[in-house]
Amino acid sequence: MKKTKTAQKLPVADNSKNYSFFENVWDVVRQIPEGKVSTYGAIANYLGVKSSARMVGWAMNASFMVSPPVPAQRVVNRNGILTGKVHFATATLMEELLLKEGIQVEKDKIVHFTKVFWDPNVELA
């Protein structure tokens, strides 16, 4: 990913449309307890858009500009890999945040991923 010369227009910047889906995503992510992680697919599934994990990724992309902050570092792909780390302020920020929360990360992958996996479909059922 690269920066464009012009400022990116993020979806939430335009409040003329209904972006409740994004807000729902942020709401779920904010409920992920410290020391746990979830996945794009699980969140998408919980929100009823089972096959639209990409949209959850978009919501994360837009999450940096919302308040209160969304712990986007707790959302990884289904293999526990930190695929979104390049979108953080620095290349290591995502991993550092996870380590600080007690989650073991090795080579961009969460160790014992299944043990720290937090599934909204189960926890928020």
Partner DNA sequence: AGTATGACTCATT
Partner DNA sequence: AAATGAGCCATAC
Residues found near DNA in the complex (CB under 7 A)? 1, 4, 6, 8-11, 17, 19, 21, 39-42, 49, 51-58, 60-61, 63-64, 72-73, 75, 77-79, 83-88, 94
The CB-of-12 to DNA minimum distance in angstroms stands at: 8
The CB-of-109 to DNA minimum distance in angstroms stands at: 12
Rg, Å, the chain Cα set: 14
In this structure, what token pair is assigned to residue 42? 């699980």
The CB-of-44 to DNA minimum distance in angstroms stands at: 7
CB closer to DNA, 78 vs 100: 78
- The CA distance from 117 to 73, in Å, is 13
CB closer to DNA, 42 vs 116: 42
Interhelix angle for 20-30 vs 53-63, to 10°? 80
CB closer to DNA, 6 vs 114: 6
CB closer to DNA, 57 vs 120: 57
In the chain, the largest separation of any two C-alpha atoms, in whole Å, equals 44
The CB-of-59 to DNA minimum distance in angstroms stands at: 8
Helices and strands, counts by H and E, the chain: 6, 4
Tokens 């995503």 locate to 25
Tell me if residue 12 falls in helix, strand or coil.
Answer: helix
